[in-house]
Amino acid sequence: MIITILSGGVGGARFARGVREHLRREHPDAELRIIVNTGDDMWLAGLRITPDLDSVMYTLAGANDEVRGWGRIGESERVSSELNAYGVGWPWFTLGDLDLGTHIARTSMLRDGLTLSEATARIQSRWDVGATLIPVTDSEVETHVVVEGGSMHFQEWWTRHRATIPALDFEQRGFENAVATNAAFDAIAQADVILVAPSNPVVSIGTILGIPGIQTALGAAAAPVVGVSPIINGAVVRGMADACLTTIGVETTAQAVAEHYGPRNNAGLLDAWLIDSGDEAAVAGIDIHRVPLWMSDLDTSAQLAKDALRAAGI
Amino acid sequence: MIITILSGGVGGARFARGVREHLRREHPDAELRIIVNTGDDMWLAGLRITPDLDSVMYTLAGANDEVRGWGRIGESERVSSELNAYGVGWPWFTLGDLDLGTHIARTSMLRDGLTLSEATARIQSRWDVGATLIPVTDSEVETHVVVEGGSMHFQEWWTRHRATIPALDFEQRGFENAVATNAAFDAIAQADVILVAPSNPVVSIGTILGIPGIQTALGAAAAPVVGVSPIINGAVVRGMADACLTTIGVETTAQAVAEHYGPRNNAGLLDAWLIDSGDEAAVAGIDIHRVPLWMSDLDTSAQLAKDALRAAGI
């Protein structure tokens, strides 16, 4: 059995860890593939940074900082203060020393001519990930945010300004000519079930769906597509996804996001949609399942994964 | 008054610090320019490493590790162990965390289209260097070492193998088409005295002399050229310069190196040559000055600088 997840960063990583745990417990022969958003990627200080790929990798490897919620555990910032002294990089964007090891290694491989997929495979081979991380595209795509008077990279809006500057729109640069990876297409076509992680519907899942060919592949997939709502009790669980939803005119409700994704039998994404026990939703063509969505620990995350597979009839 | 030094790494840096000290004491209005070897430079882990420029900069900035003899004081190696875990870089070539800050900053500037000269100017502006560091060339030149059965980058021979593998020859790759920097030509043409630091005569000073146009510029310079012998009492002061001299068929004596450099009035480099009190040398066309060469502290280094300027009639 092949399970494919569409995932953003931290939230998707936590969900993926639950899926891996559930598979280890009840489907030890199953294979887990994770198609990861690359729209937050950027060049910074001459290095290629891929925040979502790293978040998923560190989390699955058990190398993530659970307390801080992102980055490597035991992190330090000696290099970063040097870069600040040289006026290189973004002083508000933390590049931890351990994390920089990953960025330097990746960048070195890219400069040697490897694709992002090839570099990602080499990078993750160091860790016991128990899944295959697949960049949705090897093309460089970047989400920019249109604000009053200009635009900025998504990371500047998100990390520096904490999404407090009103976003008028999201520009997905480089998307028209982006080419989805073969591994992403294979993961969709060969899957027995496709899970949409409770990631940001706009800049994480939306980016994956925006890569040419991905929506068509999902529509044609033999496997059912089961989504997990990123909203619990009418609020986003973490991050500032509500600001992104507001920008594209979608309410922060499980109902509105389900409508935004739409039913797969009508040119949309979903066959089933897991919402929290405290939420309501009803969309023609989408099976709604009310289950506890809060992933407080590995057991509740694994249970959520079990519920998601059940919604796919597994 | 403009003083120009031709310099390699650590030994040249120590000499340059003495010159700066002497100038501060007795010629506070003098300007110090240092033309630095770039033949040890390399791409490693996707980063541009310039060991000699950094050694001179750290030493003049007082940020160098005096005990270890190279690199930054208070250095750590957290990133380096990550790179090793990813199989990126050379495990035997230490990239300290603080030092990596410099490499990342430089590489970022080069990737942004700056020349090495421009990047060096920006990098050194952070520090109180009290001199202008000038890469001899912005072109990428690399010294490779021919050994039995093949060749390797100079750093591999020098740092990994401690110069223990017999070197059959040195290959200076990229030199034919290298272009000396305008700042190097200006530093030579405008100088009131040109000092050749007690650096490796083969791979440091030899590299500088090997950049097209530099020898001609030195020959035409209005200023006298005063060299300081890297040999004290018939042995190299530090490093393994004797292995390099042997390879090119030059004995490790103050006499042999003076002959190798040659008198400027006969197509060579030197007008004057400072040798240690314990050494002997006599070469037609070169004024020999016997003075203590051992730079045990800042005062003895400054005295050596004073002796060198005196040999130039200053």
Q: Please judge whether B111 and A46 are an interchain contact, meaning their C-beta atoms are less than 8 angstroms apart.
A: yes
Please give the full DSSP string across chain A, using - where no structure is assigned.
-EEEEEE-SHHHHHHHHHHHHHHHHH-TT-EEEEEE--TT-EEETTEEE-HHHHHHHHHHHT-B-TTTSSSBTT---HHHHHHHHHT-S-TTS---HHHHHHHHHHHHHHHTT--HHHHHHHHHTTS--SSEEEESBSS--EEEEEETTEEEEHHIIIIISTT-SPEEEEEEET-TT--B-HHHHHHHHS-SEEEE-SS-TTTTHHHHHHSTTHHHHHHH-SS-EEEE-SEETTEESSTTHHHHHHHTT--SSHHHHHHHH-BGGGTSSBSEEEEETT----BTTBEEEEE-----SHHHHHHHHHHHHHHTT-
pLDDT of B85 above 80: yes
Tokens of A154: 């998504």
Which residues of chain A neighbour B123 with C-beta distances below 8 Å?
Answer: 86
| Overall residue count recorded for chain B in this entry | 314
Which residues, 6 or more positions from B8, have their beta carbon under 8 angstroms from its beta carbon? B36, B37, B52, B197, B199, B200, B203, B204, B205
**What is chain A's mean pLDDT, rounded?**
95
Which of A151-160, A295-304, B123-132 bottoms out in mean pLDDT, i.e. has the lowest? A151-160
What is the Cα–Cα distance from A58 to A36, expressed in whole angstroms? 13
A-chain residue closest to B76, CA distance: A78
Other C-beta atoms lying within 10 Å of the C-beta of residue B95: 21
Q: If residue B290 lies in a helix (H) or strand (E), which one and from where to where?
A: strand B287-291
**A·B CB contacts under 8 A:** 103
The CA-atom distances, in angstroms, between A146 and each of A41, A165, B202 are 17, 10, 57
What is the Cα–Cα distance from B205 to B201, expressed in whole angstroms? 5
User: Which pLDDT value is given to residue B241?
Assistant: 85
Question: Using 50, 70 and 90 to split pLDDT, how confident is the model at A236?
Answer: confident
Tokens of A301: 């995350």
Mutation target to probe the A interface, by most A beta carbons within 10 A, among B48, B58, B76, B79 is: B79
ipTM rounded to 2 decimals: 0.92
User: Which pLDDT value is given to residue A66?
Assistant: 87
What is the Cα–Cα distance from B146 to B240, expressed in whole angstroms? 16
Q: Please judge whether B86 and A105 are an interchain contact, meaning their C-beta atoms are less than 8 angstroms apart.
A: yes
pLDDT of B262 above 80: yes
A91 interfaces chain B, CB cutoff of 8 Å: no
β-bridge partners, B47: B44
Q: Please judge whether B82 and A88 are an interchain contact, meaning their C-beta atoms are less than 8 angstroms apart.
A: no
The CA-atom distances, in angstroms, between A110 and each of A140, A149, A161, A242, B251 are 12, 34, 30, 34, 45
What is the Cα–Cα distance from A314 to B12, expressed in whole angstroms? 71
**What is chain B's mean pLDDT, rounded?**
95
pLDDT in tens, B217-228: 999 999 999 999
Q: Please judge whether A78 and B86 are an interchain contact, meaning their C-beta atoms are less than 8 angstroms apart.
A: no
Residue B265 DSSP code: G
A277 interfaces chain B, CB cutoff of 8 Å: no
Q: Residues A38-66: what's their mean pLDDT?
A: 96
Whether the predicted model's global pTM rises above the 0.80 cut: yes
A73 interfaces chain B, CB cutoff of 8 Å: no
Q: Residues B97-103: what's their mean pLDDT?
A: 98
B182 interfaces chain A, CB cutoff of 8 Å: no
User: Which pLDDT value is given to residue A182?
Assistant: 98
Q: Residues B65-79: what's their mean pLDDT?
A: 92
Helix B116-124 vs helix B51-61: crossing angle, to nearest 10: 20
Which residues, 6 or more positions from B125, have their beta carbon under 8 angstroms from its beta carbon? none
Helix (H, G, I), strand (E, B) or coil at B289: strand
Which residues of chain A neighbour B80 with C-beta distances below 8 Å?
Answer: 101
| CB distance A168 to A247 below 8 Å | yes
pLDDT in tens, A246-296: 999 999 999 999 999 999 999 999 999 999 999 999 999 999 999 999 999
Select from B255, B264, B272, B269 the least CA-distant residue to B307: B272
Helix (H, G, I), strand (E, B) or coil at B180: strand
pLDDT of A239 above 90: no
Q: State the smallest CA–CA distance between residue B240 and chain A in angstroms.
A: 31
Question: Using 50, 70 and 90 to split pLDDT, how confident is the model at B68?
Answer: confident
Residue percentage of chain A with pLDDT more than 90: 90
| CB distance A294 to A276 below 8 Å | yes
Q: State the smallest CA–CA distance between residue B118 and chain A in angstroms.
A: 13
Strands (DSSP E) contained in B140-264 are 142-147, 150-153, 167-173, 193-196, 225-228, 231-232, 235-236
User: Which pLDDT value is given to residue A285?
Assistant: 97
Give φ, ψ of A243 to 5 degrees. -65, -35
Phi-psi region of A142 (alpha: psi -120 to 50; beta: other; left: phi over 0): beta
Question: Using 50, 70 and 90 to split pLDDT, how confident is the model at B268?
Answer: very high
pLDDT in tens, A145-191: 999 999 999 999 988 998 899 999 999 899 999 999 999 999 999 99
B76 interfaces chain A, CB cutoff of 8 Å: yes
Question: Using 50, 70 and 90 to split pLDDT, how confident is the model at A237?
Answer: confident
Q: If residue B23 lies in a helix (H) or strand (E), which one and from where to where?
A: helix B10-26
Q: Which fold has domain A2-141+174-311?
A: Rossmann fold (3.40.50)
Domains of chain B by residue range: 2-141+174-311
Q: Residues A54-72: what's their mean pLDDT?
A: 93
pLDDT of B236 above 90: no
User: Which pLDDT value is given to residue A69?
Assistant: 84
The CA-atom distances, in angstroms, between B148 and each of B167, B244, B248 are 8, 15, 16
User: Which pLDDT value is given to residue B69?
Assistant: 84
